Structure 1
Amino acid sequence: MAPRPRRPVSSADDAPVSDREAAQLFAPLRDRAGVALGVSGGADSSALLHLWARARTVDPALPPAMVLSVDHRLRAESATEAAIVAARAAALGLPHQTLAWTGPKPAGDLQASARRARRALMRDALEARGWDTLVLAHHADDQAETFLARLARGSGVVGLAAMAPLHRAEGMWIARPFLALPKRRLTATLTAAGIDWIEDPSNADRRFDRARWRAAMPDLAALGLTRERLVATARAMARAAVALDGLGEALTATAEVVHPAGWTTLDAATWAAAPEEIRLRCLSRAIARVGGGDYGPRLDDVERLDAALIGARAGGSALVRTLGGVRIELRRGLVWLAPEEGRVAAPIELRPGASAWWAGRRLRLAWEAPGMVTVGLLGEAGRGRLDSAAWGRASAPSGVRPSAKVIAAATALSVDGRLVAVPGLGWRAPDAVHDWSGALFGADCAADR
């Protein structure tokens, strides 16, 4: 591909990013052990690759980096595009990996599925290096489009805060150093350096929401909804979200108990006494954590659940709902949240010493385990095998026992299809030779608590 012709700088939006400015943008990453640059070969990520290399000449204290490209196997050109990125990374002295999204592709919600697959592949590549930070090239135009899309979905304060410069999600830190830069500055940087880029046709495909919002931006700007105005509003929402986060975390610390078997309870009285916005945040986060989602459910769904719980509690009645892959029960003064059978991630296999993500948790099998195990939900049949001691350990701190449905959602270990242990309940099969009580490590597992 021939380099695109240079064009004169005509405004601040067209000014190339200088090496020193790039170093300042990347400076918050200086304390990282290493980072991965997500590079597809498009204009934005090509600018990320180029500016990272230039910034290192100004600030040698920036951490080591590797370059990751994902071949989604959705277009015939994708392998060639990844090879182009690999060659450019090599020319800059940066290691490169091409990660492939293999297997069947979903018929619906393709872009969201591709994003989840892409992030999982990149997270695993980071972990293989012992690093935890992925750097992406989202810019101010992307931020404005994200704000509009979330506004259309009825998002609240958190959703309208759009993308954060640095936040933890999907088991890694995600950094977006270009959020204050318009896209035209990134393309101007490439043009000034004589660097070409790849155009992904899906970026203009009106079947996808983001492409439709992008096409609508000029008309919205004519009405005063400029990129700058939308980004400024997202920043204001982000400030409000930080303040509300503190209140939500305080409520969570007071009302929530995470059980090592995999479910969570909220003290209903403490939770219900909080202001509605704080209740919603606490509930949404609990659902995301228990259900293994990257984000909480849609705001209007959480609002309906909140109203139902408050109404049932006021009337002294029990309540059962499902949302976001989670079974929610109001009973005996507690809100119980447990993985919903049939909606949680499929069981996974773990070898001794190996780790993997399952249902939103990083789990690791101890080296001392005798062999391969399958991690999944206990289920109804497994629940029937528990003894009274295990049921007692399933109780909330108040002494209230979970329902049969909740306890069936406990994280369990099986070998060759045979249930051997429920580590979070301190139970093992009577015929099990190995003591599995400390075998499984993870955010919600007994061995870490």
Structure 2
Amino acid sequence: MSALDRAAVERFGGDLAHVLGGIVPPDAPIALAVSGGPDSMAMLALAAAAFPGQVRAATVDHRLRAAAAAEAQMVADWCATAGVPHSTLVVAEPIGAASVQARARALRYDLLVRWAVEVGATCLATAHHADDQAETFLMRAARGSGVAGLAGIRVRQRREGVDLVRPLLGWRVTELRALAIAAALPFVDDPSNADPHYDRTRFRALLRDTPWLDPAQIARSAGYVAEADATLQEIEAWLWTTRKVVPEEVGAPDLQSWLDLADLPRELKRRMCRSAIRSVRAVNGITRPVFDDSTNIEPLLDALAAGKAATQAGIMVSVRGKVWRFAPQPPRRAL
């Protein structure tokens, strides 16, 4: 392996410290999600150089491609030469044919977060970069996403006691690939990244073929939206504590959510609905269908505004006066 550019190593160290609030705890394990692509291999090499002895790496084998096991071994071999502990995490259950990328992403993060906790890490870094952020912004804008969706890939999120961080959101894909090549790092290009069946691939091609669409500037816009989203989240947290209602006749209120939302602006209703749906799904163990920030809930809001009940992601939402009730969707009756 060729030596890494020292300025790039220092830049990465500063970026990781920044997203963690100003400092990387010395001697604390730093968990990295490494797919084997040029972006994640560049991150792995940068992290190993910036924080020697602290890095732990993991590669997820989704069992979707025959080559995935060999790619995980490639990462493991590099880690062995660099003195970085590595784990290969294998998805146990078949992902299926529907919503493949969303389902794979959910399973991947579940495995990675559990692994990070096991190795004693309090942060888990992924190699998402500015071009990923630009693609996400455009994809969600094309779907009519609101503020939460347009905020794109968050630089830092808390998940089950682990800080999920993206220290490369200020880096371009071209410079990461160039770094990987210059340092003679092994890497592979996932063929799904060129599959036009996926929306992201089409938006990647749009950015590549449209010079006046600047991914760095689009990513910057996503960052500004994320700042607005953070402010709205604070308002949402306050509303969650002040707008909850528990009718006396409800026998198991912990399995439901009742919220007084009638007089709120639509954006706050949208956010409270998402929070309530997530809460009721979590407490009732509902995991399918996938529900995330990109899920469209506008038809649900329209129905509720008209006083009609509707379902979303396995949750039945009904209206009683000013109060909206969120509960698990009743099972369908057999014909």
Q: Identify whether the pair has TM-score above 0.5, normalized to the shorter chain.
A: yes
Cα deviation for residue 97 of structure 1 reads: 0.8
Structure 2 contact 127–167 (Cα < 8 Å) conserved: yes
Cα deviation for residue 340 of structure 1 reads: 2.2
Distance 1:231 1:309 in 2: 34
What's the secondary structure of 2:57's corresponding residue? Answer: strand
Cα deviation for residue 40 of structure 1 reads: 1.4
Distance 1:218 1:124 in 2: 36
Residue 313 of structure 2 is aligned to residue 324 of structure 1: yes
Residue 88 of structure 2 is aligned to residue 98 of structure 1: yes
Structure 1 contact 72–114 (Cα < 8 Å) conserved: yes
The counterpart of 2:327, out of the listed 335, 338, 344, is 338
Structure 1 contact 17–189 (Cα < 8 Å) conserved: no
Look up the match of 1:78: 68
Structure 1 contact 22–52 (Cα < 8 Å) conserved: yes
Q: How does 1:236-251 map to 2 (within 5 A)?
A: 236-251=224-239
Structure 1 contact 16–188 (Cα < 8 Å) conserved: no
Deviations 1:38-62 (A, max 9, x none): 11111011011100011115xx8xx
What's the secondary structure of 1:322's corresponding residue? Answer: strand
Aligned in 2, Cα 1:321/1:294: closer, same or farther, shift over 3 Å? closer
Structure 2 contact 139–203 (Cα < 8 Å) conserved: yes
Q: How does 1:135-214 map to 2 (within 5 A)?
A: 135-169=125-159, 172-214=162-204
Q: How does 1:310-321 map to 2 (within 5 A)?
A: 310-312=305-307, 319-321=308-310
Deviations 1:199-232 (A, max 9, x none): 21111111111111111113333xx322123112
Aligned in 2, Cα 1:56/1:149: closer, same or farther, shift over 3 Å? same
Structure 1 contact 170–294 (Cα < 8 Å) conserved: no
Structure 2 contact 262–323 (Cα < 8 Å) conserved: no
Look up the match of 1:307: 302
The counterpart of 2:276, out of the listed 281, 286, 298, is 286
Tell me the amino acid that sits aligned with residue 253 of structure 1: T
| Higher deviation after alignment, 177-186 or 21-30 | 21-30
Which consecutive unaligned segments of at least 5 residues does structure 2 have? 247-251, 283-289
| Higher deviation after alignment, 76-85 or 138-147 | 76-85
Cα deviation for residue 326 of structure 1 reads: 0.8
Q: How many residues align?
A: 315
Distance 1:218 1:184 in 2: 11
Distance 1:78 1:276 in 2: 44
Distance 1:161 1:125 in 2: 27
What's the secondary structure of 2:58's corresponding residue? Answer: strand
Q: TM-score, normalised by structure 2?
A: 0.84
Structure 1 contact 119–170 (Cα < 8 Å) conserved: no
Q: TM-score, normalised by structure 1?
A: 0.64
Look up the match of 1:262: 255
What's the secondary structure of 2:325's corresponding residue? Answer: strand
Distance 1:172 1:342 in 2: 35
What's the secondary structure of 1:256's corresponding residue? Answer: coil
Aligned in 2, Cα 1:130/1:21: closer, same or farther, shift over 3 Å? closer
Residue identity (%): 37
Structure 1 contact 284–297 (Cα < 8 Å) conserved: no
Structure with max Cα Rg: 1
Residue 51 of structure 2 is aligned to residue 56 of structure 1: yes
What's the secondary structure of 1:307's corresponding residue? Answer: helix
Deviations 1:370-405 (A, max 9, x none): xxxxxxxxxx9xxxxxxxxxxxxxxxxxxxxxxxxx
Structure 1 contact 16–186 (Cα < 8 Å) conserved: no
Aligned in 2, Cα 1:17/1:287: closer, same or farther, shift over 3 Å? farther
Cα deviation for residue 168 of structure 1 reads: 2.5
Tell me the amino acid that sits aligned with residue 263 of structure 1: Q
Look up the match of 1:369: none
Aligned in 2, Cα 1:255/1:296: closer, same or farther, shift over 3 Å? farther
Distance 2:168 2:100 in 1: 26
* C-alpha RMSD of matched pairs (Å): 2.8
Deviations 1:117-169 (A, max 9, x none): 21121122223334443210000011111111111111011111111111124
Q: How does 1:286-435 map to 2 (within 5 A)?
A: 286-292=276-282, 295-296=292-293, 298-299=295-296, 301=297, 303-312=298-307, 319-331=308-320, 333-342=322-331
Distance 2:65 2:266 in 1: 46
Distance 2:106 2:271 in 1: 23
Tell me the amino acid that sits aligned with residue 235 of structure 2: L
Look up the match of 2:37: 42
Residue 262 of structure 2 is aligned to residue 272 of structure 1: yes
Distance 1:74 1:213 in 2: 23
Structure 2 contact 48–55 (Cα < 8 Å) conserved: no
